Chains A and B, each alone.
Chain A
Amino acid sequence: MKIAVCVKHVPEGHARIDPGSKRLDRSGEGALNHFDANAVEEALRLKGDGDGEVVVVSMGPEKAADSLRKALAMGADRAVLVSDPAAAGSDLIATSKVLAGALEREQADLVLFGQQAEDADGAVLWAAVAERLRRPVVSQAAEMVVSDGGVRVKRQTEFGYDVIEAPLPAVVAVSDAINEPRYPSLKGIMGAKKKPFEMLTLADVGVDVADAGEAGSKTEVLALGEPPSRGEARKIEGDANAAQAIVDFLAEKRLI
């Protein structure tokens, strides 16, 4: 079985938006989006000792190679990075086109995603990619099993669990409750350097430059502003009068 895992390289530490370009500042150090580590882990678990292949796929600046190498160090077999200046500033719809292009080349039996991007809080990309690939999609997978050419997923929802079955090829987005990602071993880190690593352009994945980056995006950031203040936050040290202070606060807010 061939499993493709889509991963994102996200800014490390305190992310900021560049006021000029109104894009997320990606100039600093970055790291593998930690929700994607759950997807890599699940792919490695599903592959087990079998003769399948786990390929990690990303779109991003050249520096995103660091995150793909981390996935390789965890145990993935091969990495594909679509890195093209014309892809910078891609919104969801443009990104889904580029990733779908890269995934069409791979023809994996199973495509995995993590549950959200730490930087932009996006938690929807898989559904757009699945639509472009015309494959079934299941998100919020808290457990999954692959057998008989199909995948059985326990999906966590607001109301409980749905057990969903879909034939392969399929797209699944895993919840971060599904597993505890492993840490790369020293041997894994050394071995990662020798694993196949492909750098691709938009042309390589069959996407026109007009369909990617800002040109291919259908949404735009118009302005950045201050969030509405929550009012003056008060903080008190707990002492004998803390309970009374809370009651006074609630009374003042007319909540009791």
Chain B
Amino acid sequence: MSILVFLEHHGSELQKGSLGVLAKAASLGDADAVIVGGGVSALAAEAGKYGAKKVHVADDGSLDPPLPQPRVDVIAKVVADGGYDTVLFANSVLAADIAAGLAARLDAGLNWDLVDLTSDFVGKRPALQDSVLVDVGWKSTPRVGLFRAGSFDADPKARSAGGEPQVESVGVELEEHSRAAKVVDQQLEEATGPSIEDAEIVVGGGRGLGAAENFSLAEDLARALGGAVGATRAVVDAGWYPYSAQIGQTGKMVSPKLYVALGISGAIQHKVGIQSSNVIVAINKDPNAPIFEFSDLGVVGDVHEIVPKLTELLKQRKGS
């Protein structure tokens, strides 16, 4: 049994979600990793800390743009040469496209939206708005699995089997259709302040805040809690808050210890981004808002009245 994990990077950093999947895979058996990009060789050592025995590195300038199809070519070759029976991914815009392309290339089964995996390869997948937990399996190998963001802890200290991984370089001739798409421009919106993906506490603001300037309520509360500020797509689309703070399907996936939702209705698009949070507290004036269905504490009330008081109480508490 051998597992290969795709490690996604952005800039010079491996993504936390994919390292979490690697750590999980290493706990199930022998796990190797694959990193694809331009100038990524230096990232291989990092993978060892999360349990990778061997790291396949495809380092080439032509692989630098974040496109899925060249990565399918690389991973398909690594799977064929290494005889891997399982390939795992942490969900992202890029990883989802690689996983599905790879499944078609290898004629392999793909289970997605997994939150866990057992040692005998039964995947756990919440379905129908998380009202049911489905056990899913693969009828053949190789198996391809795509995990929901934040499914596993990526803390290297929690793993004992850290070491110097064996690094193997991969050279690949790309398929014609994999070379067709080109990234001609990138507009990266780097977040300022604490990253919502790494923050232990996130305060999210939605339309219920009423106006762009009322995001100060969320910012003040986040400061008092020592957390970061996120936003729903609706308010980002409305120009109230920068895209880098967007949480949800087309934004970032967060998995903090505490998520505080201010004036957020809880549309499915937003829910998928916050569902890995340990504790969710929601304040919304609409008692029927869907957010209350998956909140640990739901407060029906006006954010403009409650939040300033809450921030004040937290500050007093810290001060005492």
Contacts and interface: CB of A to CB of B under 8 A. Distances in A.
Given A219-B136, A246-B281, A131 B252 contact: no
Interface string B266-298: 000100100000011101010000001111111
A167 interface: yes
Given A128-B101, A218-B139, A239-B301, A137 B181 contact: yes
B109 A242 contact: no
A1 interface: no
B93 A134 contact: no
A250 B258 contact: yes
30 contacts: A17-B134, A92-B109, A93-B107, A124-B99, A128-B103, A131-B105, A134-B175, A137-B101, A156-B250, A157-B94, A163-B184, A177-B233, A217-B139, A218-B138, A219-B109, A219-B110, A219-B137, A219-B139, A223-B134, A233-B292, A234-B296, A235-B300, A236-B298, A239-B301, A243-B306, A243-B313, A246-B283, A246-B306, A249-B296, A255-B258
Nearest to A236: B299
Interface stretch (A51-59, A189-197, A224-232): A224-232
A249 B133 CA distance: 28
B257 A255 contact: yes
A124 B181 contact: no
Interface residues of B, number: 97
B61 to A, nearest CB: 17
Interface stretch (B18-26, B27-35, B45-53, B67-75): B67-75
A160 interface: yes
**Interface of chain B, main secondary structure:** mixed
A235 B298 contact: yes
Contact of B136 (A152, A221, A243): A221
A241 B279 CA distance: 21
A139 B237 CA distance: 19
B80 interface: no
Contact of B97 (A139, A222, A256): A139
B109 A218 contact: yes
- Among B269, B293, B306, residue most surrounded by chain A Cβ atoms (within 10 Å): B306
A93 B110 contact: yes
**Interface of chain A, main secondary structure:** mixed
Contact of A127 (B97, B132, B298): B97
A226 B135 CA distance: 11
Given A122-B112, A219-B139, A246-B299, A137 B68 contact: yes
A244 interface: yes
A242 B298 contact: no
B105 to A, nearest CB: 6
Interface in A60-93: 91-93
B298 A233 contact: yes
Contacts of A243: 306-307, 309-310, 312-313
A170 interface: yes
Contacts of A38: none
A32 B305 CA distance: 41
Given A134-B177, A250-B258, A140 B109 contact: no
Interface string B239-260: 0000110000111110001100
A57 B71 CA distance: 28
Interface in A126-167: 126-132, 134-140, 142, 152, 155-167
A256 to B, nearest CB: 7
Contacts of B299: 235-236, 238, 242, 245-246
